[in-house]
Amino acid sequence: MQYGYFDDNAREYVITRPDTPYPWINYLGCEDFFGLFSNTSGGYCFYRDARMLRLTRYRYNNVPTDAGGRYFYLRDEGDVWTPSWMPMKSALDRYECRHGMGYSKISSARNGLAFSQVSFVPLHDTCEIHKVTLTNESNIDKRIDMFSFIEFCLWNANDDMTNFQRNFSIGEVEIDGSRIYHKTEYRERRNHYAVWAVNVPIEGFDTDRQTFLGLYNGFDHPQTVFDGEAKNSAASGWAPVGSHHIKARLAPGESKTFVFVLGYCENHEDQKWERPGVINKKPANTLLEKYDTPIAADKALAALNEYWKSLLGRFTVDAEDKKMARMAGIWNQYQCMVTFNMSRSASYFESGIGRGMGFRDSNQDLLGFVHLVPERARSRILDIAATQFPDGSAYHQYQPLTKRGNNEVGSGFNDDPLWLICGVAAYIKETGDYGILNEKVPFDNNETLADTLFVHLKRSFDYTVTHVGPHGLPLIGRADWNDCLNLNCFSKTPGESFQTTANYESGVAESVLIAAIFAFTGPDYAEICRRTNRAEEAEYAEKAIAKMIEAIDQHGWDGSWFLRAYDAYGKKIGSHECEDGKIFIESNGFAVMADIGINDGRARKALDSVKEHLESPYGIVLLQPAYKDYHLELGEVSSYPPGYKENAGIFCHNNPWVTIAETRLGRGNRAFETYAKICPAYREDDSDLRRLEPYVYAQMVAGKDAVRHGEAKNSWLTGTAAWTFVSISQYILGVRPVFDGLMIDPCIPSSMKGFTVTRHFRGADYHITVDNGAGVEKGIKSIMVDGNYLDGEALKKAVLPVFGDGKVHKIVVVMG
């Protein structure tokens, strides 16, 4: 069944009924302040760090689901209802939620009263704006009581949910007219507070949860609202909340608009107080004055719209296949920006208190947003590199607030170093900025250990070269890309983390995947060396890569596919000899991406085996057969029930590796098939099974061994976003940044008649039309650049020059 539709012109997904099969959310904010916002106004917001500076409270795994958010309660002559459906599940005469680029709009109506809410985080400010409009659509006068409601989080989200002996006594607020200030811990070591304000005079307020709701009531039955009168409660300890009571008289046809702002404010240490016990409200005044009229709110929304329009204008797609066009042109890039902002911290599946920024994840995420915000990608690279250790290994995660490596997780994931090369190469191909290599970057966040970014890359490269096992393949360490392939872990204790528990480092367990990543990304390192006059280093690198490929040839091929690894006893993983886990997706996708076996037929064989053994209607599963039992020597991968997560789930992240690999073989039909199977827009009609948002990718879809085959989990924060964008934009549509310019190398289904891409690249706009009247899957007959045909070598290379002139250039490509 469908729960909505895409409105491509508005760049919105329109949800037409509130009871979606799971909360379908959006992200507000693109700089320092962020909100998660569901289609029923659920969610929460935070300043910079979802764990340390959370403004509003949210209970994960709650019953009912998604309870808590920014709620408005309406009381229309005794009829109490919630216009966002939740939390009262009110019967509505009309409902619609539009999730757009950085904003969401909910509109609904009941009994002649229409409600609309536009929610967003304005550019450059640290607040959420909720513009609310009430309209009397009936033909009688209406007297409405409206109550706003949010629940404050006592800042540290982890402590907030666990440390009750303290927290029940520390909550403090201040009320000043229509402004409710949350100032818990401000008296001591914090110099920041939150403010929840509305731009009109109020009838009353409440800031004590128990008074507002009633101790034994849920959000669906707030006593105060049913009583019709705010109690003017001042929170003292327990649970501080913010509720305004507004009375609105509406003549037939009349509308009234209110601007609610939920803001985060900071003061200098010595300017914390206005007078003893009273917080300095200057920063709040400045913020709230900016947004105190509906017109000001509209202007801020218009500026946000402009921001996204120009951002997404950097890569647009037009094609007959609207599903592909809207995903590649709008939603996939939008999701990439969300992963840029959130990494893996805050979603409806990531609590915001657990994981920080991943070294591996952040480098891969970069592949999906470097064309949108190259300058921000640059500083992201420098932040990531600063958490690398002098020997080239890396902290697996770092904290977004401090940008320091996370000691609790530590290091030892032996694929990590290579992703830095991958990220930097993508950045240089996009921008041509080799200068970044000369930036001084600390090792281990220690300035005295700083060296150039180039040295960081060298240490990355050398780390792999020097950490090989008995077959000359890279040692896996704690795990490689597959966090759950823990070959040195041997965990017997329940609750122990497979990723961080004692690691024996057998010196034996090896990863064919890391070898393939090395073979894929190593050549970029060598090329960077060549282009920066480091010929000797380039030669050394090329030799090391050739040696690694030899090791893969000799010890990484199983006859019909690539092996996955060797365990700590030297036994094969991902081999026909194994009982379970005979074949894995990762090493097959990546080895072919690295062009291994293209000339001798192994690549084709490997991908055919992937299709034969791992294919399902909803994508390619990670391995087969699923592990039935827990294997001490394999770790977490075998801990999941068959079909879920890394144990034979459809781990969407590595499906695009197969897509890209298929394009290396020129098999456009198959490449597109693998692309479309995991692409959410193609499963919109199937939402009852898939359950998650049809506009964003999910990390995992349950595999064919699972009870709930086809059901998705972990939407939004996944490397799938970046890699699918790479696969569709660079390898299927084939508009690919390379060191010399923009390569044109489409590999599409033979039924695709053509497409248009506009691409901003190094200071110019390329307007590219591809004609596939010939109905081929790959191959270019001609390329015309601004009216002139490329010929000879230039046509063979198919790399468009770097114009950098701020102009639009017309490119016409004919396939055949």
Asked if residue 481 binds ligand NOJ (CB under 6 A), the reply is yes
Which residue bears the tokens 């990390």? Answer: 699
Asked if residue 636 binds ligand NOJ (CB under 6 A), the reply is no
Task: Quote the least distance from Cβ 649 to ligand BGC, whole Å.
Answer: 9
Asked if residue 365 binds ligand BGC (CB under 6 A), the reply is no
Answer whether 653's CB lies under 8 Å from 644's CB: no
User: One symbol per residue from 602 to 621: x for binding ligand NOJ (CB under 6 A), - otherwise; what is it?
Assistant: --------------------
Which residue bears the tokens 């085959």? Answer: 709
Residue nearest to ligand NOJ (CB): 483
Task: Quote the least distance from Cβ 396 to ligand NOJ, whole Å.
Answer: 9
Bond into 625 cis (ω within 30): yes
Residue 305 CB partners (closer than 8 Å, separation 6+):
101, 103
d(CA 308, CA 236): 42
Site for ligand BGC (CB under 6 A): how many residues? 6
Main-chain phi, psi angles of 471, to 5 degrees:
-95, 10
**Three-class SS of residue 270?**
helix
Question: By C-beta, is 670 or 713 nearer to ligand NOJ?
Answer: 713
* Burial class of 512 by CB neighbour count within 10 A (0 to 12, 13 to 18, 19+): buried
d(CA 566, CA 37): 44
User: One symbol per residue from 639 to 658: x for binding ligand NOJ (CB under 6 A), - otherwise; what is it?
Assistant: -------x------------
Among ligand NOJ, ligand BGC, none, what binds residue 481 when CB lies within 5 to 8 Å by partner kind? ligand NOJ
d(CA 361, CA 378): 16
H helices of 476-534, in order, are 512-531
Among ligand BGC, ligand NOJ, none, what binds residue 208 when CB lies within 5 to 8 Å by partner kind? none
Question: By C-beta, is 658 or 700 nearer to ligand BGC?
Answer: 700
**Three-class SS of residue 806?**
coil
Instruction: Report the site for ligand NOJ in 347-366 (rule: CB under 6 A).
Output: 358, 360-361
Task: Quote the least distance from Cβ 93 to ligand NOJ, whole Å.
Answer: 43
Instruction: Report the site for ligand BGC in 485-504 (rule: CB under 6 A).
Output: 499
Q: Which two tokens stand for residue 668?
A: 């456009």
Among ligand BGC, ligand NOJ, none, what binds residue 499 when CB lies within 5 to 8 Å by partner kind? ligand BGC
Q: Which two tokens stand for residue 685?
A: 């009609």
Question: By C-beta, is 331 or 359 nearer to ligand NOJ?
Answer: 359
Task: Quote the least distance from Cβ 645 to ligand BGC, whole Å.
Answer: 5
d(CA 772, CA 812): 11
- Given 70, 344, 478, 664, the residue binding ligand NOJ (CB under 6 A): 344
What does DSSP assign to residue 475? B
Instruction: Report the site for ligand BGC in 497-556 (rule: CB under 6 A).
Output: 499
Task: Quote the least distance from Cβ 395 to ligand BGC, whole Å.
Answer: 14
d(CA 560, CA 564): 13
Among ligand NOJ, ligand BGC, none, what binds residue 552 when CB lies within 5 to 8 Å by partner kind? none
Residue nearest to ligand BGC (CB): 483
Asked if residue 321 binds ligand BGC (CB under 6 A), the reply is no
- Given 484, 516, 591, 696, the residue binding ligand NOJ (CB under 6 A): 484
Residue 502 CB partners (closer than 8 Å, separation 6+):
489
User: One symbol per residue from 464 to 483: x for binding ligand BGC (CB under 6 A), - otherwise; what is it?
Assistant: -------------------x
In 3D, which of 757, 747, 766, 774 has the Cα closest to residue 805? 766
Answer whether 454's CB lies under 8 Å from 420's CB: no
Task: Quote the least distance from Cβ 617 to ligand NOJ, whole Å.
Answer: 22
Instruction: Report the site for ligand BGC in 85-114 (rule: CB under 6 A).
Output: none
Asked if residue 362 binds ligand BGC (CB under 6 A), the reply is no
d(CA 558, CA 576): 7
Answer whether 344's CB lies under 8 Å from 360's CB: no
Asked if residue 482 binds ligand NOJ (CB under 6 A), the reply is yes
Asked if residue 174 binds ligand BGC (CB under 6 A), the reply is no
- Given 179, 378, 645, 691, the residue binding ligand BGC (CB under 6 A): 645
Query: Strand ranges (DSSP E) for 751-803?
Result: 754-761, 764-771, 780-785, 788-789, 799-800
- Given 230, 484, 528, 752, the residue binding ligand BGC (CB under 6 A): 484
Helices 655-664 and 586-593 meet at what angle, rounded to 10?
40
Active-site residue list:
483
- Site of interaction with ligand BGC (CB under 6 A): 483-484, 499, 636, 645-646
Chain residues binding ligand NOJ by CB under 6 A are 344, 358, 360-361, 481-484, 646
